[in-house]
Amino acid sequence: MNVAPLGGRIEIAGKSVSTVGFGTMRLTGPGTWGDPDDRDRALAVLRQAVHTHGISHIDTADAYGPHTVEHLVKDALYPYPDELLIATKVGLARPAPNMWAPHGHPVYLRSCVEASLRRLKVERLDLCYLHRIDPEVPLADQLGTLAALRDEGKIGHIGISKVTPEAFEQARKEVPVAAVQNVLNIRNRYDPVMEMCRDAGIPYVPYRPLDAGAAAPNGNVSAALHWLLASGPHIAPIPGTSNLQHLDSIVQGVNGGGWT
């Protein structure tokens, strides 16, 4: 990738990557279920994000599809550039379209990681998030499973997603937390975990940074992303789209905000 990293650089999971990443949740069918209507277009969006726009942080999850997007990432981008960080997430079962169920049993988490390794065609997941904390399973058991997989060389770094301040503090007692994903955008402006991550020097990865367009009033993507990037050097938003033109507008929004 011989282009400037989008939004500058940030270190996540031991890699220097573009501050603005790409979230892949929208590269599925309706309800985050099944294949996209136009698979070739989804592949083109991924390739354009990485090879044209210099995005080097791709965020996905086994629950997207389920499994659909991990296959798309591999088909679009493998063999992966050395500087590319692919983050995935485990711990959410998908019983039906638009339905999400936390599932943190250690056996299930281990099977999810093993399957993601195969789908992405890698020997190690550079960054693996616990997608949701399962309230029915002790957090120590959920993170302990990921830590064991890290010790086996199957996970590089562990992240957590959609966490309260209390869960954030508890998780940090169990494992080194490499990154946190929570909602933050100009419609949802306050998350105390963002400040806790800043104080701890942990990258904070806002998902839904544009809130499906609702956080970019009048299509002002630049203002929405500029607000996020100005919130701190530890902020690494992951806007997503399934449309090539919308991807271009996101990139222009970042560059238009002075973040080149």
What's the CATH code of the domain at 145? 3.20.20.100
Number of domains in the chain: 1
Q: Which residue has the tokens 């029915």?
A: 136
Please indicate, yes or no, if residue 195 is contained in any of the structural domains: yes
Please indicate, yes or no, if residue 234 is contained in any of the structural domains: yes
Please indicate, yes or no, if residue 92 is contained in any of the structural domains: yes
Please give the residue range of the domain that contains residue 29.
Answer: 9-256
Separation in Å, CA 18 to CA 7, 21, 104: 6, 6, 31
Helices (H), strands (E): how many in the chain?
8, 11
Q: Does residue 238 sit in helix, strand or coil? A: coil
pTM reported for the whole predicted model:
0.95
Tell me if residue 64 is catalytic.
yes
Please indicate, yes or no, if residue 228 is contained in any of the structural domains: yes
Q: pLDDT above 70 covers what percent of the chain?
A: 97
Please indicate, yes or no, if residue 3 is contained in any of the structural domains: no
Q: What is the mean pLDDT of residues 90-119?
A: 98
Please indicate, yes or no, if residue 198 is contained in any of the structural domains: yes
Q: What is the mean pLDDT of residues 243-248?
A: 95
Contact 117, 88 (CB under 8 A): no
pLDDT of residue 260: 39
Please indicate, yes or no, if residue 158 is contained in any of the structural domains: yes
At 207-234, the pLDDT tens digits run 999 987 787 777 788 889 999 999 999 9
DSSP H or E segment with residue 217: none
Q: Are strands 125-130 and 155-161 parallel, antiparallel or unpaired?
A: parallel
At 41-95, the pLDDT tens digits run 999 999 999 999 999 999 999 999 999 999 999 999 999 999 999 999 999 999 9
Please indicate, yes or no, if residue 162 is contained in any of the structural domains: yes
